[in-house]
């Protein structure tokens, strides 16, 4: 019954020449552009996904921060928000969809379950934190966190994007 | 929400065995011997008119003599008049030493998922299992390579032994000393026994984590304070 799909990852992750070799002024502009157009892909697994949806609706409205929740799929997304309980059964799917996202990509772990396993810390089937399978940029604590906490996490991620140097993150071309 | 009239007598007469009736929190429950499991299900479906297998699961009974697993099936009559649903719990006891029971999939194809789940969670082997897609009895929900039967009470949650945790893991464990040592004798199912798994709280690594110095000091951040830069 197991379906063997080809591995989507080809070679080591790279970004374009402009991003890689840009001087500081251009880098600031590029980072500024990227931090305010984060196409987000919501990996909703439990009740935290409801809070994510609340954050995307009119009252909290994270589109005003440049987070666009209309990515057709992971291949068009810059940011993945893992919101909910990650089980060992679901973990391969999360890793697979993360690997389908184009570089540079970011992950927000939203809620106690995806941070550490949360109330299911001793369960036989729950992954003890999504950071065991994919790298996480921002952790948002709470069970579930309020939408304001996600907004704060998004702002923290945007600050991180503004300060980063993609050439160093991916290595300069040898 | 009642069993069909005379279900117990009808079953006992048809099977020629003793059928014990109990009241399981408002639902009538009939116990049949494991050898009569399939005839009892067939009789309930064809004679008593309980045509729908609602669910099938199991209960681990390690305290029973001998230790056993109770397999329960919930049957419903879909032609019941409105407001008077006919339903019945059929239960059988399978000794834990030989966990094998005839499969209900020849009667209800939909029993396949329930039996696969009961198989992986309790280790019950359903003989004659017939999947609509022709596959043998196999896990349904657990990830590939999972070992053990997690809903048996003998299944130990290894995370409780190996995972460091800042607070109390079990009741009576909080505070400086052991406030109520008598409670430690009652180990809930799944909790690792300190005698075989070592101390419940593994000593933190000796790299000077702040938890060592001030156990009652700062709480690990679980509050969405949201105001930190």
- Which chain B residues are closer than 8 Å to A143 by Cβ? 222
CB atoms B165 and A88 under 8 Å: no
- List the single range of A103-107, A137-141, B58-62, B221-225 with lowest mean pLDDT: B221-225
CB atoms B224 and A89 under 8 Å: no
Quote the CA–CA distance of B36 and A17 in Å, as a whole number.
74
- Which chain A residues are closer than 8 Å to B160 by Cβ? 122
When CB atoms are compared, the residue of B142, B143, B159 closest to A128 is B159
Find which of A48, A122, A160 to mutate to test the B interface (most B CBs within 10 Å of its CB): A122
The answer to whether A107 touches A82, Cβ cutoff 8 Å, is yes
When CB atoms are compared, the residue of A91, A122, A142 closest to B224 is A142
- Mark out the alpha helices in chain A (DSSP H runs): 17-21, 24-35, 48-56, 91-100, 112-116, 147-163, 166-170
Quote the CA–CA distance of B32 and B6 in Å, as a whole number.
15
pLDDT at B126: 93
- Which chain A residues are closer than 8 Å to B227 by Cβ? 152
The fraction of chain B above a pLDDT of 90, given in percent, is 35
pLDDT at B171: 66
Prior bond to B66 cis, omega within 30?
A: yes
Segment (H or E) for B121? helix B111-122
CB atoms under 10 Å from CB of A115, counted, come to 23
- List the single range of A42-56, A122-136, B78-92, B169-183 with lowest mean pLDDT: B169-183
Closest among B77, B81, B82 to B4, alpha carbons compared: B77
ipTM exceeding 0.85, yes/no: no
- Which chain A residues are closer than 8 Å to B223 by Cβ? 141-142
Prior bond to A144 cis, omega within 30?
A: yes
Quote the CA–CA distance of B95 and B62 in Å, as a whole number.
10
Q: How many CA atoms lie within 13 A of B124 on its CB side?
A: 31
CB atoms A89 and B142 under 8 Å: yes
When CB atoms are compared, the residue of B141, B159, B227 closest to A121 is B159
What is the pLDDT confidence band of residue B94, given thresholds at 50, 70 and 90?
very high
- List the single range of A144-158, B79-93, B192-206 with lowest mean pLDDT: B192-206
Per the rule left: phi > 0, alpha: psi between -120 and 50, beta: everything else, A40 is beta
B3/B125: higher pLDDT:
B125
Mean pLDDT of chain B: 79
Residue A2 dihedral angles phi and psi, to the nearest 5°: -65, 130
Tell me the nearest-neighbour CA distance from A155 into chain B, angstroms: 9
Structure tokens at B78: 């879909």
- Which chain A residues are closer than 8 Å to B159 by Cβ? 117, 121-123, 128
- pLDDT at residue B210 greater than cutoff 70: no
Quote the CA–CA distance of B129 and B118 in Å, as a whole number.
12
Closest among A153, A143, A81 to A116, alpha carbons compared: A143
Prior bond to A64 cis, omega within 30?
A: no
CB atoms under 10 Å from CB of A61, counted, come to 13
The answer to whether A45 touches A84, Cβ cutoff 8 Å, is yes
Segment (H or E) for B159? helix B159-162
- Whether A144 has its CB under 8 Å from any CB of chain B: the answer is no
Closest among A165, A162, A159 to A22, alpha carbons compared: A165
Q: Quick: pLDDT tens for B104-154.
A: 999 999 999 999 999 999 999 999 998 888 888 888 998 888 888 999 988
Average pLDDT over residues A63-81: 91
CB contact set of B107 (below 8 Å; sequence gap of 6+): B38, B41, B42, B45, B53
The answer to whether A89 touches B141, Cβ cutoff 8 Å, is yes
Question: Would you call A119 helix, strand, or coil by DSSP?
Answer: helix
CB atoms B222 and A124 under 8 Å: no
Average pLDDT over residues B78-105: 90
pLDDT at A71: 87
CB contact set of B5 (below 8 Å; sequence gap of 6+): none
Per DSSP bridges, beta strands B52-61 and B68-77 are antiparallel
Q: Quick: pLDDT tens for B26-67.
A: 778 899 999 999 999 999 999 988 999 999 999 999 988 889
């Amino acid at each position: 019954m197991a379906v063997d799909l080809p591995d989507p990852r080809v070679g080591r992750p790279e970004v374009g020449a402009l991003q890689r070799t840009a001087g500081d002024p251009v880098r600031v502009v590029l980072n500024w552009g990227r931090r305010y157009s984060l196409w987000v892909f919501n990996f909703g697994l439990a009740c935290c996904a409801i809070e994510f949806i609340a954050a995307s609706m009119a009252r909290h409205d994270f589109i005003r921060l440049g987070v666009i929740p209309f990515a057709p799929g992971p291949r068009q997304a810059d940011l993945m928000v893992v919101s909910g309980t990650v089980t060992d059964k679901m973990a391969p799917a999360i890793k697979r969809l993360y690997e389908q996202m184009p570089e540079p990509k970011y992950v927000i772990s939203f809620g106690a379950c995806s941070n550490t396993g949360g109330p299911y810390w001793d369960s036989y089937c729950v992954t003890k934190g999504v950071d065991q399978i994919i790298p996480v940029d921002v952790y948002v604590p709470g069970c579930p966190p309020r939408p304001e906490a996600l907004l704060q996490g998004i702002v923290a991620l945007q600050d991180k994007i503004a300060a980063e140097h993609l050439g160093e993150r991916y290595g300069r071309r040898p | 929400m009642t069993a069909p009239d005379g279900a117990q007598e009808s079953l006992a007469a048809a099977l020629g065995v003793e059928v014990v009736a109990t009241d399981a929190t408002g639902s009538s429950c009939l116990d049949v011997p494991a050898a009569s499991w399939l005839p009892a299900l067939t009789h309930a479906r064809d004679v008593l008119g309980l045509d729908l297998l609602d669910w099938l699961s199991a209960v681990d009974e390690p305290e029973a003599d001998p230790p056993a697993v109770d397999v329960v099936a919930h049957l419903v009559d879909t032609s019941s008049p409105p407001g008077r649903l006919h339903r019945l719990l059929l239960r059988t006891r399978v000794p834990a030493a030989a966990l094998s029971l005839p499969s209900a999939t020849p009667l209800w194809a939909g029993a396949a998922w329930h039996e696969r789940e009961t198989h992986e969670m309790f280790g019950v082997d359903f003989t004659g299992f017939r999947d609509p897609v022709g596959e043998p009895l196999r896990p349904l929900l657990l990830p590939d390579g999972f070992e053990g039967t997690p809903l048996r009470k003998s299944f130990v949650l290894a995370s409780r032994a190996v995972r460091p945790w800042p607070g109390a893991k079990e009741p009576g464990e909080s505070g400086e000393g052991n406030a109520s040592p008598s409670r430690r004798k009652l180990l809930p199912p799944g909790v690792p026994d300190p005698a075989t798994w070592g101390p419940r709280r593994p000593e933190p690594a000796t790299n000077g984590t702040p938890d060592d110095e001030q156990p009652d000091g700062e709480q690990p951040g679980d509050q969405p304070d949201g105001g930190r830069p």
